[in-house]
Amino acid sequence: MDIGQRIKELRVQRGLSQDDLALRANFSKSYIQKFEEGQREIKSSQMAQLAVGLGMDISEILQPVDYKSTEFNIKNIEFREAVKLDVQVEYFTKKMLGTLYKKYSSYSKLEKILGESITFSNPLKNFSVVVSNENVEEAAKILRKRWKFEDTPIYNLIIFLEDLGVKIFEVNEDDNFVGFSCWVKSTPIIVINTRNTDVSRRRFTILHELAHLLLLFSENEDKEKIERYCDQFAGAMLLPEEILKGYINSTISISLEELKRIKSKFGISILAILVRMVNIRLISWEKYKQWKEIYREWTDKESEYAGRENVSRFNYLLAKGLREELITKDLASDLSGIPMSNLSSNAINQEFLF
């Protein structure tokens, strides 16, 4: 890859237009165009300006990352609702992976320094290929049992998964982007969008992506069907079948208060509860459609789930490293991207975003 293509790739990774980079690097847009198209040689002084505009070191620009290297081997990338993205998926993928590489590397380096690395163990690694709704329900039951949830609500889902070795990152992206998941060697990665502020939806998305990571599907399986299986898995993890049946007194009618009570305890949206009732055959799709129309009139009355789901482990390790003097402020700044002048307990407590 020549340097012009590299500049373009890095610009796209950071979500910058040519106008944005021109403004940041103090160039005209035409200069950026000519740089990227290889029509103008980039002098050392101009490279320094581009590095400032991209927010990175010159060495990082000149030494592109090989995402297929043994150090960073991404596999099984699964986008959720990727077809709805308002940008080209190829460019969006490069942007996500480029930024993910740096944050993942910083996270891993911090873990090694502190001796806090976690090896993830998949409790479903020997589970059969998923080919039916029954398989999905069984997988969720096994996972709940092995993670000792049994039939209780799952609180602090993100913290729980982070402590098991799942690395969860947040991005601020197009509203149509929900999330994606992948494996980096033996580490499961989940990426979610900060624009999704509804906590119950965030929990559902995380478990949907977890299904992509943990469940095995046939190579010939229809993609839409896989998405439905992953949705069902998320619902089954949040709201076990027997618990839901215990809450529902009638399959003829249901009140908003009944649904709000379930949502407030189990952290699952009302719409997802209705779908869950279909999946376990409490109601038919026809009944679901009827209730869904009623639900549209309830949306402005639906209460929020009171729980919190925030990415926190990286910040916890960063604060611990500084407190125990295992890392310097300079290194902490480099790993976190927080300027040294802002490196305080308040800054560290902010969300670890990229």
Task: List pLDDT tens digits, range 139-188.
Answer: 999 999 999 998 899 999 999 999 999 999 988 877 777 888 888 888 99
- If you average pLDDT over residues 214-234, what whole number do you get? 93
Above 80 in pLDDT, residue 208?
yes
pLDDT value for 85: 59
Token output for 86: 């308002």
Report the distance separating Cα 313 and Cα 219, nearest Å.
34
**Band of residue 352 on the pLDDT scale cut at 50, 70, 90:** very low
Report the distance separating Cα 316 and Cα 78, nearest Å.
28
Secondary structure of residue 154 in the 3-state scheme: coil
According to DSSP, residue 353 is labeled B
Would you put residue 210 in left (φ > 0), alpha (ψ -120 to 50) or beta? Answer: alpha
Task: List pLDDT tens digits, range 32-48.
Answer: 999 998 888 888 888 88
- If you average pLDDT over residues 224-234, what whole number do you get? 94
Choose from 49-58, 72-81, 207-216, 328-337 the range with maximum mean pLDDT: 207-216
Q: Which residue has the tokens 């030494």?
A: 63
Beta pairing class for 167-171 and 74-80: unpaired
Handedness of CA 236, 239, 241, 242 (dihedral sign): positive
Above 60 in pLDDT, residue 320?
yes
pTM of the predicted protein model: 0.78
Radius of gyration of the chain from Cα atoms? 23
pLDDT value for 351: 41
CA distances from 24 to 47, 54, 215, 224, 239 (A): 13, 8, 44, 42, 48
pLDDT value for 194: 86
Quick one: how far is CA 12 from the chain centroid? 19
Read off φ and ψ for residue 168, nearest 5 degrees.
-120, 125
Using a pLDDT cut of 70, give the percent of the chain over it.
85
Report the distance separating Cα 310 and Cα 307, nearest Å.
10
According to DSSP, residue 291 is labeled H
Edge to edge, the sheet with strand 167-171 lists 74-80, 179-184, 187-193, 167-171
Question: Among 104-113, 165-174, 214-223, 246-255, whose mean pLDDT is lowest?
Answer: 246-255
Token output for 337: 């991207």
Sorted by where each begins, the domain ranges of the chain are: 1-64, 313-348
Amino acid at 252: I
Above 70 in pLDDT, residue 316?
yes
- If you average pLDDT over residues 288-301, what whole number do you get? 78
- At the top level of CATH, which class does the domain 1-64 belong to? mainly alpha
Would you put residue 201 in left (φ > 0), alpha (ψ -120 to 50) or beta? Answer: alpha
Report the distance separating Cα 213 and Cα 207, nearest Å.
10
8 A C-beta contact, residue 205 and residue 129: no
